[in-house]
Structure 1
Amino acid sequence: MGKMKVIVMMFFAVVLLGGGAMFFLKDEVLGKEKVKEKEISAEELVEMSVDTDIITTNLASPNNFAIVQFNILLSSKETKEEAEKRKPEVRAAIISTIASFTKDELIGNEGIVKLEKELSAKLERIVETGEVERVLVTEFKLQ
């Protein structure tokens, strides 16, 4: 009878410890992200974003050009400062990215989204101190 009590007590101890571990580790075990995106205030957006100049560049399709401007949201103030110091590299990345598209590829919402994603990936390779959170097209004209 004494051995049975020890076995039952050990069983409950294992179940209790396992349940506690699952409670604290459930997000990692289930693959859910524990960190939720917090809302960014307007002041924080200004502190962590860069507006480019209006850029006019040729497209890959003949006799077509685009006039664009972007807002680049970065992960921190330090990353914003770095991006401002690297403005020539940022501008060159924008021009080369846009110049790789034809007019037909940029028409419509899908074209703008593709441009934003491609440019975001290119800018991510330029900045070293943080991350590019998003790129928004704020001015867009095709000719």
Structure 2
Amino acid sequence: MGKLKKIIGVVIVAAVIGGGAAFYFMQKDVEAKEDKSLSAEEVAELSVDTDIITTNLASPGNFGIVQFNILLSDKDTKEEAEKRTAEVRAAVIATVASFTKDELVGESGITLIEEELAARLSEVFEKGKVNRVLVTEFKMQ
């Protein structure tokens, strides 16, 4: 009975170590794929541009004119984005309208609006994810 317990113990330890190693190497592969830079062609295939949108800002008497480039995780997500243009446009308007003119001044303002819009758009899409959002046109009055 003692030998059987030792054998079972060794098998369990080996399975745990093997499972841990397999998990570790699978995670490394996933991270390597995420870190891989996309070529210009891949970026073009996975990106959508919004229309130029004009909306009021949260500060009275101010408005913004914006356009964004949205990089998506895969082709299915891009197709979904193209079908959900009204929802994307609504998310852009709601996001831009939530900021005051003072919040959007300078590079930090651009970064803030890109991050906020990426988070809001991630809630819109059922498939895939938003990898990044870039401001491609930005004017405030």
| Separation (CA, whole Å) in 1 of partners of 2:124 and 2:71 | 14
Output the amino acid matched with 2:43: L
Name the counterpart of 1:131: 129
The equivalent of 1:81 in structure 2 is: 79
Unaligned runs of 5+ in 2: 1-9
Work out which of the two has the higher radius of gyration on C-alpha atoms and give 1 or 2: 1
Paired AA for residue 98 in structure 2:
S
1:138 aligned counterpart, secondary structure: strand
Q: Secondary structure at the match of 1:61?
A: coil
The residue identity in structure 2 corresponding to 1:52 is T
- C-alpha change, 1:142 and 1:26, in structure 2 (3 Å) is same
Q: In 1, Cα distance between the equivalents of 2:22 and 2:43?
A: 33
Matching residue within 101, 105, 116 for 1:118: 116
Give a deviation string over 1:87-134, Cα, whole Å, max 9, x none: 000000000110010000000111111111111111001001110111
Whichever residue aligns with residue 41 of structure 2, its letter is E
Task: Give 1:135 deviation, angstroms.
Answer: 0.5
Tell me whether 102-111 or 34-43 shows the greater mean CA deviation.
34-43
Partner amino acid, structure 2, of 1:60 = A
Paired position in structure 1 for 2:99? 101
For residue 115 of structure 1, give the secondary structure of its aligned residue in structure 2: helix
Amino acid at match of 1:40: L
Distance in 2, matches of 1:138 and 1:94, equals: 13
Query: Once superposed, which parts of structure 1, at least 4 consecutive aligned residues long, lie more than 6 Å away?
Result: none
SS at match of 2:69: strand
Alpha-carbon distance between aligned partners in 2 of 1:96 and 1:39, rounded to the nearest angstrom: 31
Cα RMSD, aligned residues only: 2.3
What secondary structure does 1:136 align onto? strand
- Show the counterpart of 1:141: 139
TM-score normalised according to structure 2 size: 0.79
**TM-score normalized by the length of structure 1:** 0.78
Aligned length: 127
SS in structure 2 at match of 1:69: strand
Q: Which amino acid aligns with 1:66?
A: G
Match of 1:10 in 2: none
Amino acid of the residue matched to residue 54 of structure 2?
Answer: T
Asked if 1:46 is matched to 2:17, the reply is no
Shift of 1:24: 3.6
Quick check: which one's helix share is greater?
2
